[in-house]
Amino acid sequence: MADHADGDGVDIFVYRGGRAPQHVTHVRIDKSVEVIEENAFRDCKHLVQETHDGIRLVGVRSFYKCNSLRRINLKHVVEIGEYAFYQCVSLESVEFGDNLETIGQCAFYGCRSLQHLNLPSIITIGRGAFYKCNALTDIELSERLETIEAHSFWECKRLQRIAIPLKRILIPLDDIFRRYNQFDGCDQLITVNLVGWIHKTVASLHMESWRNEMQEEIHRINQVLPDAQTRDKTDEIKQWMDSVLDKMDHYKAEHYRYVKEGTNVLELALWKAKLGEKEEKSVDGRSKKAKVDADSARKGKRITCGADVVIKNVLPFLKLD
């Protein structure tokens, strides 16, 4: 269906589902549409497209080789299918929102004009999702991110910085080539920043020397990457992440040991304070006759001194995430 825009006489195709005509240039997605179907605008080489906030799913190859597409609003989209924006070479700006969780294989392959990437809620980035996005310079990824598949950012030659969460399985091995290659070919990649829990946990460590050592290890990657070979950058990032996690696990265990020792000392102090209380006096001022032996009395003090509350509540509260 085609409508006429006011004033300029431009034909606007109103998309309500199915496959759009390849000759369309201006499109408005109807408010009733939540899913842009598979191949919906495939090879619409002159498309300038508009969306609305109700789109939830962008289907497989839905904007495949839309060479003139420059901007798109995906701020309520949850999933982007495989090859959805494959070789949209003019695509400069994509507005991702807080709902996007999955980007499929090769979804933005060859989008050579895309410059910045902010994915605040992403969980999975598929194989080759941003392969050869040569204009990308900066990437902000979600602390919810669980997987960056093989070749995801391969040959993003201008990429300088990435912000990623610290997770041991974030960068899986390529089953085909038997190596880590997510950032291979990123010649200018020199900075990795960590997002999420790590900074709060480091700041909570018991010893200042531990905190300093962890900070040095976290920043070490930014000293290594500038001199790393292009094909080794992903390996360096993977090894570094494992090293940071190993050190963090060690210091968390040490922190917990110190906290437990401190809690035991506090428990003993509470117990001894209870033992030091004065004996209860009878009405005539004389001490009551003990009805239990000394050992039983000490056990009773142990129960009533509050130590059980300390062990049950204080120790877990001080344990690091």
Segment 96-138, tens digit of pLDDT: 999 999 999 999 999 999 999 999 999 999 999 999 999 999 9
Give the integer Cα–Cα distance in Å for 61 and 197. 36
Q: Over the chain, what is the mean pLDDT?
A: 85
Predicted confidence band of residue 19 (pLDDT cuts 50, 70, 90)? very high
For residue 265, the model assigns a pLDDT of 61
Structural domain containing residue 177: 65-250
Return the percent helix, strand and coil in the chain, to nearest 5.
Answer: 30, 15, 55
Residue 185 sits in a domain of what CATH number?
A: 3.80.10.10
Q: Has residue 58 been placed in a domain?
A: no
For residue 253, the model assigns a pLDDT of 87
Which among 47, 46, 42 has a CA at the least distance from the CA of 65? Answer: 42
Calculate mean pLDDT across residues 225-237. 95
For residue 6, the model assigns a pLDDT of 42
**8 A C-beta contact, residue 60 and residue 40:** no
Calculate mean pLDDT across residues 44-49. 88
| pLDDT score of 191 more than 50 | yes
**8 A C-beta contact, residue 145 and residue 166:** no
Q: Has residue 319 been placed in a domain?
A: no
Contacts of 79 (CB under 8 A, 6+ apart): 56, 57, 58, 100, 101, 102, 104
Q: Has residue 277 been placed in a domain?
A: no
Which among 78, 31, 23 has a CA at the least distance from the CA of 50? Answer: 31
Q: Has residue 41 been placed in a domain?
A: no
| pLDDT tens-digit map of 52-88 | 888 999 999 999 999 999 999 999 999 999 999 999 9
| pLDDT tens-digit map of 254-309 | 877 776 766 666 666 655 666 555 545 545 555 554 444 555 555 555 555 555 55
| pLDDT tens-digit map of 126-185 | 999 999 999 999 999 999 999 999 999 999 999 999 999 999 999 999 999 999 999 999
Predicted confidence band of residue 207 (pLDDT cuts 50, 70, 90)? confident
| pLDDT score of 49 more than 80 | no
Query: DSSP 3-state assignment of 76?
Result: coil
How many domains are contained in the chain?
Answer: 1
Q: Has residue 27 been placed in a domain?
A: no
**8 A C-beta contact, residue 53 and residue 78:** no
Q: Which amino acid is at 266?
A: L
Q: Has residue 237 been placed in a domain?
A: yes
Q: Has residue 263 been placed in a domain?
A: no
Q: Has residue 304 been placed in a domain?
A: no
